[in-house]
Amino acid sequence: MKLNLRAVDLNLLPVFVAILEEGRMSKAAARLGMTQPAASQALARLRRTLDDELFARTRRGMIPTPRALALAEPIREALERIRETLSTDRAFDPARAERRFTIKFGLFTEMTILPALVERAARAGEGIRVRSGGGMADLGVDLVRERLVDLCFDTVIPEDGRLRSQMLGREQAVVIARRDHPRLRRGCTAEDYFRERHVILALDERRRVLFEQLIGREGAGRKILAEVSECAAVPMLVARSDAVATVSAGVAEVFRRAFELRVFPFPLPIPRLPLYLVWHEGMTGDPGHAWLRRTIAELVSSSAHGGPEALKARRALPRPSPR
């Protein structure tokens, strides 16, 4: 049976979201500028309307019921759309805005770009939230096309005419190996690269073919130790074996510090790898979305994915000579 919307007080929905995100009634009330009894009364009304407990009070705070978890995302999105629709000021002020951005990061960009973006968003305004969306098997461009995420990162320009892209920069590919690798003490030559076994990420067909084209015919014949879907597994496997892996220089610096790995220049003279920001054309004129795109572009430009240390490390890498 469909719920009669006239029976729903929309003012109760922000209370629902605040309790869900804060986890405690006192914090939710403070966030909304309400007294705790008023917030409790609002929750009681919403419970009666939806005929569900919604939240169970425990020593760990307010725990959402399965029904509350199912309602969470649709209610958040509905409130955001209402705010955007009713806003008369097209300018975007992050210090005053209430906005949640969902981004599908690539296999490595979540490790290198997301932390800096979350930090920048927190400084920009308390109402700005950044969420990493989509599963490992989801293609970012598909999620953007269906408006399920605001942005995605990719290494190729989207072919869909409804999608827009901006090249953020280019990254040098490098090779990582464990610090005490027995055969790579003096570096990694092309011969070494194709002799060693590799840890690789599971890529879709288009990206796999693109990478193999970059490294030449020999690339298809690499000896694979393991193919993984989680990027965090790459340095773990490299650190515990004699295998090598190919990653971007920014990511390599993160891995090097965390797992005590060695980083070598890529032994073949391949082009630097591009990184694109992709969004739906319908969001191009949205001021908040434009702010997000500018912010990400500034972060990538200033930090080169891995901060000043990674940038310094990349500049110190010698360039491979032609074969």
| 113 shares a domain with 69 | no
Angle formed at CA 59 by CA 55 and CA 64, multiple of 5 degrees: 20
Residue 86 reports pLDDT greater than 80: no
> Of 7 and 200, which is predicted with more confidence?
200
| 208 shares a domain with 126 | yes
Question: Which of these ranges, 36-45, 107-116, 260-269, 276-285, has the smallest mean pLDDT?
Answer: 107-116
239 located within any domain: yes
2 located within any domain: no
Coil, strand or helix at 283: helix
In terms of DSSP H, where are the helices of the chain? Answer: 12-22, 25-32, 36-50, 66-86, 109-112, 114-124, 140-145, 190-195, 205-215, 233-239, 249-259, 287-303, 307-316
123 located within any domain: yes
| 304 shares a domain with 257 | yes
225 located within any domain: yes
What is the per-residue pLDDT across 240-264, written as a single tens digit (0 to 9) for each? 999 999 998 888 988 999 999 999 9
| 74 shares a domain with 127 | no
| 323 shares a domain with 187 | yes
1 located within any domain: no
| 114 shares a domain with 27 | no
Are 264 and 187 contacting, i.e. CB atoms less than 8 angstroms apart? Answer: yes
297 located within any domain: yes
235 located within any domain: yes
> Of 3 and 263, which is predicted with more confidence?
263
| 22 shares a domain with 119 | no
| 173 shares a domain with 39 | no
CATH number, domain at 316? 3.40.190.290
Domain boundary among 62, 85, 108: 85
194 located within any domain: yes
Residue 239 reports pLDDT greater than 50: yes
Domain boundary among 63, 85, 107: 85
| 318 shares a domain with 275 | yes
Phi then psi for residue 176, to 5 deg, are -115, 145
Nearest to 267 by CA among 192, 185, 186: 192
- Tally the domains of the chain: 2
- Residues of the domain holding 270: 95-323
| 74 shares a domain with 172 | no
CATH number, domain at 77? 1.10.10.10
What is the per-residue pLDDT across 136-168, written as a single tens digit (0 to 9) for each? 656 789 999 988 999 999 888 888 888 999 999
pTM (predicted TM-score): 0.62
Domain boundary among 27, 57, 85: 85
| 99 shares a domain with 78 | no
| 191 shares a domain with 53 | no
